[in-house]
Amino acid sequence: MATQDTGAIAGSLGQLASKHIPVVSVDTRPDKGQMYMVVRADNKAYGTKSCDFLGEKLNGKGTVVEFEGDLTSINGRDRSEAFGDCMSQNYPGIKVLAEPTNWAGDVAAAKLQDALAQGAVNGIYMQADGVFLDSTLLLLKQKNLLVPPTDPKHIYIVSNDGIPAEFQAIKAGQIDATISQPADLYAKYAPFYAQAALQGKTFQPGSTDHGSTIVSLPNGLEDQLPAPLVTAVNVNDPTLWGNQVGK
């Protein structure tokens, strides 16, 4: 399963547990309910990596607009909490406008419009570029703010997904970075663990043979798959799943 409302699924998980049916969750993690394995990237690392990227680019000063995902989702909460904690602890000179969006591009664009009307925006953190990219770039173009990094008006943008459109935007100088969500590894290891569950196999916390780390949760285990930061330096890396789509 890949539930989005990670709190509401608890009842269904209880029914499955009563029938001794193991559950593998992909991309998201239920807040409660027994899990055989969660196959997911470390979403707190998404927020921290995005914070450090913007903090360094802005030299610790300025205003950043954060498009928060749906906070009923553990992914939205993890990214938001980690980004906020990192900014307050490491870059106190940066003002963060944390804007709830429920993963809606039109909502994000409206919040960005309001922020730009209030003053200069120096950075943007988009928690899911698949829903935020087009509307954000369109608005910045309308405001004559879609300029290359060499222009003083450039707004530094970091996103989370790793889709081909983001890579094209990085190459064009429209956005600056993204965190590549390991969608290909989700597709590989979700069925791997489902099959392992049927075979009665068990796993322990620690490093894996596929470059990830299994961590212990109150309700099971989570295989935290690697999710690298992608910039103009490594955007053409053929191992990134966004560069393999359609091939």
Report which secondary-structure segment, H or E, holds 15.
helix 10-18
Please, is 246 exposed, middle or buried when counting C-beta atoms within 10 Å of its C-beta (0-12, 13-18, 19+)? exposed
Residue 16 domain-assigned?
no
Q: What is the pLDDT of residues 229-242, one digit of tens each?
A: 999 999 999 999 99
User: Both 176 and 202 in a single domain?
Assistant: no
**Residue where one domain finishes, among candidates 180, 208, 229:** 180
Evaluate if residue 161 carries a pLDDT over 80.
yes
Confidence of residue 179 (pLDDT cuts 50, 70, 90): very high
User: Both 153 and 116 in a single domain?
Assistant: yes
Q: Tell me the β-bridge partners of 24.
A: 37
The model scores a pTM over 0.75: yes
The 10 Å CB-count burial string (b at 16+, else e) for 19-34 is eeebbbbbbbbbbebe
Residue 247 domain-assigned?
no
Q: What is the pLDDT of residues 196-230, one digit of tens each?
A: 999 999 999 999 999 999 999 999 999 999 999 99
Residue 2 domain-assigned?
no
Residue 223 · residue 38 · CB < 8 Å:
yes
**Residue where one domain finishes, among candidates 131, 163, 180:** 180
User: Both 70 and 170 in a single domain?
Assistant: yes
User: Both 208 and 144 in a single domain?
Assistant: no
User: Both 52 and 173 in a single domain?
Assistant: yes
Range of the structural domain that residue 189 is part of: 22-41+183-242
Q: What is the pLDDT of residues 115-146, one digit of tens each?
A: 999 999 999 999 987 899 999 999 999 999 99
CA distance 79 to 85: 10
Q: Within a 10 A sphere around the Cβ of 144, how many other Cβ atoms?
A: 8
Q: Can you give the pLDDT at residue 247?
A: 59
How many distinct structural domains can be found in the chain? Answer: 2
CA distance 191 to 141: 42
What is the CA angle 133-135-139, rounded to 5?
115
User: Both 168 and 56 in a single domain?
Assistant: yes
